[in-house]
Amino acid sequence: MSEFLLWDAVDQRRAMLNGEIGVRELISAYIARIEAHDTTINAVVTRTFETALEQADAADKKRLRGEADGALFGLAVAHKDTLPTAGVRTTFGSPLFADSVPAIDHAIVARQKKAGAISLGKTNVPEFAAGSHTYNPVFGATHNPYDTSRSAGGSSGGAAAALASGFVSLADGTDMGGSLRNPASFCNVVGLRPTPGRVPNFPSAMPYNALSVAGPMGRSVQDVGLLLSAIAGEHPYDPLSFGSGSVSFTHLRERQCKGLRVAVSRTLGGLPFEAAVRKGLDDGVATLVDMGCVVDEAEPDLSGADDVFDVMRALSFATGYGPLRASNGDRMKESVRWNIDMGLALTGEQLSRAERERTRLLAAARSFWDTYEFLVAPVSQVLPFAVGEDYPRSIDGVQMESYISWMRSSSRITVLGLPAISLPCSFTDDGLPVGIQIIGRPRQEHALLSFALAFETAKPVGRRRPF
C-alpha cells in the first residue's frame, strides 16, 4: 500500500501542493485500494473512477501552472448515498431509487467540488438512512474493517468504513440520532455532528427540521476541521443556516486543559451500556485527568428527551416519505414503514407536548453550560454487533423497544441541538474500537474541535488502522 493513503488529509494536501505526490498518483492509489479490498468491506457502492481520474489530470495541470486552489484541492472524497449528486446515481439504499440520478448536488457536495475535492463515488447507507446499521436490499451490508463479521454502524456506515480502510481522504455524512457519531465509534474514525444550521442541509423535505444535520468525517480532528471549513456557512436556500464569521476550523490548536472543568455522564440519564463500553469511557476519563482536566460527574436534564426525539423523528419520516409509503409501502423495509406510520398517526397534542418538552430541556440546559464547557459520555451503548443482526435487541439485560432505542446515547444529545464529536478512545481485548463522545456548547464547534484535538494528541488510538 502507498503510505500516503492513510496520511491525514491535511498532510496529503500539503504534499500535493509541494509536488511530493501528484493528484493522479493519490487518486489512482485510492482506486487501486478500493478495487483490492472493498469487495470485503462494501463501503463505496457507486463508483465514479473514470471521471475522478480525468479530474485528477486536470488538477495536476493546474498544480504545475501554480494555479492549485481550494481548501480540499486534489483530495479524494466520497458522498453518502442519501446526498443528491448531479449526474451520479443516488439510491437512498432503496429499490425505489435504485436507478435514480439527481439533476442537482446537495449543498455540501457542491461545496466540496468548489473546494477542489475529487469524488470517487457514493458510500453505503441503510435503507432511507433508517437505523444505525448499514445494510440495504440494493447493495447489501457494509462490514466493519476491524472485524468483517461486525457492523460498521450507520447510517453513515459506508463513509466511516471507507475512511478506516484507507479508501478516501475525507467523507461526509448526516446525523439525526447518531448517524455520524455511531459509525465513527464503530470504525475508529472521527465524526462531528455540528450545531443545526452550521452546515447547510439543502435540498431537504423539511427545511426547518433541526433534528437532522449534515457534517464531516475524517481520520483525525484536523481533517474534520478542514472539511468543516469547506462545507460550513450560510446558504440562501437553508433557512436555518448561519455563517461562521471570522472563525476558521483549519489549523486548529490544542486546547489548554489544566484546570478545565469537564462534566462526565456515564449513563446519560440512566441508559444501559455494555461493560466494554463502560470500560472504554473509564479509559477516556483517565486520559482527561492526565490532561489536567477537573472531572465532575454531572449531566444536563435529559428527562423526556426520548419522547421528543421519537415524535420529531416520526414527523420527519412522515413528511419526507409519507406519499411514498402510500404508493410503494410494500417495497420499504418494515422499520421504515413503522416510523412513517408513527408520524402519520401523530396528534396535535403529541406534537405540541414534544415542542413544550424540547423548550423545557433547552432552558434547563442553560445553567449546565454556565458551569461546564464540555460534556463527555459514551457514543454508542454497544460494541459493533454481528453484521447479520438488524439491531441489538437487548443491552445489559434491558430489552430495546424498537430499532432506534439502542442509540439513545446519541439521540438524547440530538434533542438539545448541541455540537457533538465522536473520537477514537480505546480498543477491546479482541480488537474492536470504542469511541468517546464530547459535547460542546451551541455553535461552539471551534472550541469543541480544539478540545478534541488535545484529547486525540493525548490518546492517539485513531492511528491504529485495520489493515
Q: What pLDDT digit, counting tens, does each position of 21-51 carry?
A: 999 999 999 999 999 999 999 999 999 999 9
Check residue 1 and give its pLDDT: 57
Rounded to an integer, what distance in angstroms lies between the CA atom of residue 401 and that of residue 332? 20
Using alpha carbons, list the distances in angstroms from residue 274 to 48, 189, 191. 40, 20, 21
The partner residues of 46 in beta bridges, in order of sequence, read 122
Check residue 245 and give its pLDDT: 81
Mean of the pLDDT values across residues 419-435?
Answer: 98
Check residue 115 and give its pLDDT: 98
Task: Report how far Cα 301 is from the mean position of its chain's Cα atoms.
Answer: 25
**Phi, then psi, of 451 in degrees rounded to 5:** -70, -40
Check residue 209 and give its pLDDT: 93
Mean of the pLDDT values across residues 205-221?
Answer: 97
DSSP letters spanning 269-306: TT----HHHHHHHHHHHHHHHHTT-EEEE-----TTHH
The partner residues of 77 in beta bridges, in order of sequence, read 119, 170
**Phi, then psi, of 229 in degrees rounded to 5:** -60, -30
Rounded to an integer, what distance in angstroms lies between the CA atom of residue 313 and that of residue 29? 40
Q: How confident is the model at residue 393 (pLDDT cuts 50, 70, 90)?
A: very high
Task: Answer for the pair 144, 162: CB distance below 8 angstroms, yes or no.
Answer: no
Task: Answer for the pair 165, 466: CB distance below 8 angstroms, yes or no.
Answer: yes
Check residue 394 and give its pLDDT: 98
Mean of the pLDDT values across residues 359-368?
Answer: 95
> Over 90: is that where the pLDDT of 165 sits?
yes
Q: How confident is the model at residue 244 (pLDDT cuts 50, 70, 90)?
A: confident
Element of type H or E holding 187 = helix 181-187
Predicted confidence (pLDDT) per residue in 69-125, tens digit: 899 999 999 999 999 999 999 999 999 999 999 999 999 999 999 999 999 999 999
Using alpha carbons, list the distances in angstroms from residue 231 to 81, 200, 251. 17, 8, 16
C-alpha cell at 284: 477516556
> Over 90: is that where the pLDDT of 246 sits?
no
Running DSSP on this structure, what letter comes out for residue 254?
A: P
Element of type H or E holding 78 = strand 76-80
Q: How confident is the model at residue 345 (pLDDT cuts 50, 70, 90)?
A: very high
Mean of the pLDDT values across residues 272-278?
Answer: 98
**High-pLDDT (> 70) share of the chain, %:** 100
Nearby residues of 169 by Cβ (< 8 Å), 6 or more positions away:
9, 12, 26, 30, 75, 76, 77, 223
Check residue 251 and give its pLDDT: 93
Angle between helices 107-114 and 221-231 (to 10 degrees): 100
Task: Answer for the pair 123, 79: CB distance below 8 angstroms, yes or no.
Answer: yes
Rounded to an integer, what distance in angstroms lies between the CA atom of residue 467 and that of residue 165? 7
Task: Answer for the pair 78, 168: CB distance below 8 angstroms, yes or no.
Answer: yes
> Over 60: is that where the pLDDT of 294 sits?
yes
Mean of the pLDDT values across residues 288-312?
Answer: 98
Rounded to an integer, what distance in angstroms lies between the CA atom of residue 297 and that of residue 211? 27
> Nearest Cα to 78, choosing from 161, 189, 146?
161
Residues with catalytic function: 80, 155, 179
List the domains of the chain with CATH numbers: 3-463 (3.90.1300.10)
Rounded to an integer, what distance in angstroms lies between the CA atom of residue 309 and that of residue 318? 14
Q: How confident is the model at residue 431 (pLDDT cuts 50, 70, 90)?
A: very high
Check residue 2 and give its pLDDT: 83
128 three-state secondary structure? helix
C-alpha cell at 279: 470500560
Rounded to an integer, what distance in angstroms lies between the CA atom of residue 410 and that of residue 380? 7
Mean of the pLDDT values across residues 432-445?
Answer: 98
Q: What is the mean pLDDT of the chain?
A: 97
Q: Which residue has the cell 449528486?
A: 85
